[in-house]
Every structure is written in structure tokens, then in C-alpha cells.
Amino acid sequence: MKPMINRYKLEIAGAAAGAVIGWLYWYYVGCASGTCPITSSPVVSTLYGALLGTLGFSTFKKPTTTK
């Protein structure tokens, strides 16, 4: 379990940061009418933020080379 966490620590950090940002976006901006598909629910907004955070942080990962 520990090697897996070390291997994906950048993606885990990105997911955590994105989830917090997604929840904060829902809390402060949100959607008053409830018709917005992403920002009308805190769960969807948090999960969407986690996905974008994971993808965003994974762009900074160095490619691994095999010998």
C-alpha cells in the first residue's frame, strides 16, 4: 500500500486540492436556480473538482523511463 501511495502522491494531492476548490466553488458561487449540472450539487462539484485537480497535477509528473 505504501509504494502505491508514494507512486501516486502527486495525483492524490491534486485530487484533494481539486475537491476542496470544487466544494468552495459550490459554496461561494454555486447555482441559485438548481439547473446548473455541475454547481447545483456539492457532491458533483466536489467530484468534478477532484477529477480536474488530478488531471491538472498529473501534467507535472515526470515520465518514467524503463531500461
Per-residue pLDDT reduced to its tens digit, 23-52: 999 999 988 787 888 888 899 999 999 999
Cα separation of 52 and 2, whole Å? Answer: 24
This prediction's pTM: 0.83
Choice between 15 and 32, residue whose per-residue pLDDT is larger: 15
Percent of the chain having pLDDT more than 70?
A: 100
> Which residue, chain included where needed, has cell 509504494?
3
Q: What is residue 45's predicted lDDT score, i.e. its pLDDT?
A: 94
Cα separation of 50 and 57, whole Å? Answer: 10
Per domain, the residue ranges of the chain are: 2-58
